[in-house]
Amino acid sequence: MDLVVVNLAERPDMAHHLWDPALDWPRFLQQDPVGDLFFARAGTTFAAHTLLAFDAEHLDRPVARSCSVPFAFGADTGRDELPDDGWDGVIRWAWLDEVAGRRPTHVSALEVTIRPDLRGTGLASVLLEHKRANAAGLGYRDLVAPVRPSRKADEPHTPMTEYVSRVRADGLPTDPWLRLHVRAGGTIRTVCPRAMTISGSLAEWRSWTGEPFDASGEVVVPFALNPVHVSLEHDHAVYVEPAVWVHHSL
């Protein structure tokens, strides 16, 4: 495939492709309210950090999407540790920095989403390199990422701290997505235990997942990294997703 990667600050006419259905996450993961702070402005305020990839022969349909946000970090900002709320936290920081006119110093990756029929073809590695190059080209020296390990959903009851500690004989992580980050130059820093929080009524969760949610306790949902906490008595369920902070020095 002859890949064409565009930056939406340079190609705003391509912004409508951000919402291609083939790049959608599972429906329950689209319900994180903090995500709206980014996606509502992914093609405007944060356009320089939003990339779309196309097959050169089919520029009417994206094959992948890469999203990041700039944020301020360091002692003079009151932020000297990456946030425990990972994805949610860094989006909130980026939003507050932009509103306050605060100059960003770092970039955080948010996602690399590959069209389902092209997953496993090496595109994730290519998009990660484009993400790194884009941040460096914008003048940043540090890229961090609240990484969502790709195989953690196979083990929803395993604590993330245990999962992330697993390495192969060559010392690389056993998880493919974490391994890709490390091979690209990233360093695993720490677990962010509440990277994303999604809550809703039981009726909402049933509509998002197709699961019955008919008993209190833990419910395993496909693609979720942890079980969903369900309260039949209080008519709500809450999902708290962990992630892993990885740092790339550019």
The verdict on residue 228 lying in a domain is: no
Supply the range of the domain harboring residue 42. 3-197+243-249
Task: Indicate which CATH number applies to the domain containing 16.
Answer: 3.40.630.30
The verdict on residue 209 lying in a domain is: no
Backbone angles phi, psi at 169, to 5 degrees: -60, -25
Which tokens belong to 33?
């309210």
pTM to 2 decimal places: 0.96
Burial class (CB in 10 A: 0-12, 13-18, 19+), 139: exposed
If one counts the domains in the chain, the total is 1
The verdict on residue 211 lying in a domain is: no
The verdict on residue 225 lying in a domain is: no
pLDDT tens per residue across all 250 residues of the chain = 899 999 999 999 999 999 999 999 999 999 999 999 999 999 999 999 999 999 999 999 999 999 999 999 987 888 999 999 999 999 999 999 999 999 999 999 999 999 999 999 999 999 999 999 999 999 999 999 999 999 999 999 999 999 999 999 999 999 999 999 999 999 999 999 999 999 999 999 999 999 999 999 999 999 999 999 999 999 999 999 999 999 999 9
The verdict on residue 213 lying in a domain is: no
The verdict on residue 147 lying in a domain is: yes
Q: Say how far apart CA 179 and CA 173 lie, in whole Å.
A: 5
The verdict on residue 68 lying in a domain is: yes
Which tokens belong to 13?
């006419």
Q: Say how far apart CA 162 and CA 106 lie, in whole Å.
A: 28
The verdict on residue 219 lying in a domain is: no
